[in-house]
Structure 1
Amino acid sequence: MKKVSSVEEYIEENSHFGEALSLLRDLINTTELEETLKWNAPVYTLNGKNVVGFGAFKNHFGIWFFNGVFLKDQNNLLEQAQEKTKGLRQMRFESIDDVDKHAVLAYVTEAIENQKLGKEIKPEKMGKTIVIPKELQIALETNKNFQAAFKALTPGKQREYCEHIASAKQEKTKMSRLEKIKPMILKGMGLFDKYKNC
């Protein structure tokens, strides 16, 4: 796509979803976010920090949340953009009829509040950041022995466990993985320790 100089031009260039993109733009512009263009697409910021953006592709369009990982996502509308993206989450639509205006605005509003609270994924320093999935976080908060055992693990072992749970797509898979790793954590083992000694 050629370089665009305004959001209007971006919408014009993606006229196959023009009406839908205009709807998303109007919704976002009812908030305090500032409209900008970054990476040749509309991005909305709060105090210079990226909060949401939207874009169109051949067969779908969507809105993405730069720190969407912190959204409650009660309606299960978000999906991870790519395996590697830590914080980014997106809502995908195939037609304007798929857009629930109230839900979109509620998610945008929550994203703004999260930004104000400073909830954001910090850039990783040499892969040292550990993002604890909510399922594991709850287990740690409700069991002091388990929490102490987890904290005693090396950061590398903690990260392996966190990624093991977070990589599961379904909630029930995350919970079953959590149950399987609890005894290993309590023994001070890493996720792959039993294989390393073979």
Structure 2
Amino acid sequence: MPAIDPRIDAYIANSAEFARPILEHLRAVVHEACPDAEETMKWSFPHFEYKGMLCSMASFKAHCSFGFWKGELLIAAADDKGKEAMGQFGRITSIEDLPPRKTLAAYVKKAMKLNDDGVKAPGRAKPATPRAVVTPDYLDAALARREPALANFNAFTPGKRREYIEWLEEAKTEATRLRRLEQAVEWIAEGKSRNWKYEKC
């Protein structure tokens, strides 16, 4: 039986309608090709591990992404669509945007072999300057009204601040943004990150 993580069930259920069949398909292919794969959540999206990091998938407003941790060693540079979106397969809007099931499974098996052999992922060049985290004015104002929310937010790592900002900015309506803002300020005042429910104690 595959090691199923209920957080990934929740992630898929909360994804856009177009994304759910894509994510379910990817999940099934990974487990069929690698029955020993274990699911986990890292950086707020689903990952699959097998003797280390294997691959990951994510959904966004209008597309999904899928990629291998050692993708540079699996997929020819000419076929890598990493410039279009996260991962090596570009912006995935339907299952038809993915390679055939058999091809995808073959990639999974090659990725497993790399991990079996202890091959390290190629080094990733760090950007010359870190990506700036720009806090929207409405969030700054809301945090300032609730002690110690602003101090907690400023003490968060850039990644944790960015998770809250992206969650607010992705709201499709102003009403949704306001609900999220209220929830965000409450959690931040308590010192909680956006994904505190999924963090290991």
Structure 2 length-normalised TM: 0.50
Cα separation, 1, equivalents of 2:23 and 2:75: 24
Aligned to 2:69: 66
Partner SS for 2:89: strand
Cα separation, 2, equivalents of 1:53 and 1:68: 11
Aligned to 1:133: none
Partner SS for 1:91: coil
Aligned to 1:26: 28
* C-alpha displacement of 1:68: 0.8
Amino acid at match of 2:74: L
Aligned to 1:9: 10
Compared CA separation, residues 80 and 50, structure 1 to 2 (3 A): same
Cα separation, 1, equivalents of 2:56 and 2:21: 16
- List gaps (5 residues or longer) in structure 2: 127-201
Percent identity for Structure 1 against Structure 2: 23
Cα separation, 2, equivalents of 1:108 and 1:62: 15
Compared CA separation, residues 89 and 97, structure 1 to 2 (3 A): closer
2:59 equivalent among 56, 74, 81: 56
Aligned to 2:105: 105
Partner SS for 1:20: helix
Q: Which moved more, 1:20-29 or 1:53-62?
A: 53-62
Cα separation, 2, equivalents of 1:63 and 1:50: 13
Partner SS for 1:63: strand
* C-alpha displacement of 1:121: 2.6
Cα separation, 2, equivalents of 1:97 and 1:40: 25
* C-alpha displacement of 1:53: 0.6
Compared CA separation, residues 37 and 81, structure 1 to 2 (3 A): farther
1:39 partnered with 2:40: no
Number of residue pairs matched by the alignment: 117
* C-alpha displacement of 1:78: 2.5
Kept in 1: contact 2:65–2:87 (CA 8 A)? no
Compared CA separation, residues 78 and 72, structure 1 to 2 (3 A): closer
- List gaps (5 residues or longer) in structure 1: 83-87, 127-198
Cα separation, 1, equivalents of 2:83 and 2:119: 19
Structure 1 length-normalised TM: 0.51
Partner SS for 1:44: strand
Amino acid at match of 1:116: D
* C-alpha displacement of 1:114: 1.0
The CA RMSD measured in Å over matched residues stands at: 3.0
Write out the 4+ residue segments of structure 1 that deviate beyond 3 Å after TM superposition.
Answer: none
Compared CA separation, residues 81 and 116, structure 1 to 2 (3 A): farther
Cα separation, 1, equivalents of 2:6 and 2:37: 19
Matches within 5 A, 1:1-198: 6-16=7-17, 17-30=19-32, 31=34, 32-47=36-51, 49-73=52-76, 77-80=79-82, 89-92=87-90, 93-99=92-98, 100-121=100-121
Cα separation, 1, equivalents of 2:120 and 2:83: 16
CA deviation vs aligned residue, 1:81-128 (integer Å, no higher than 9, x gap): 59xxxxx8422322122232111111111111111112223667x9xx
Structure showing greater Rg: 1
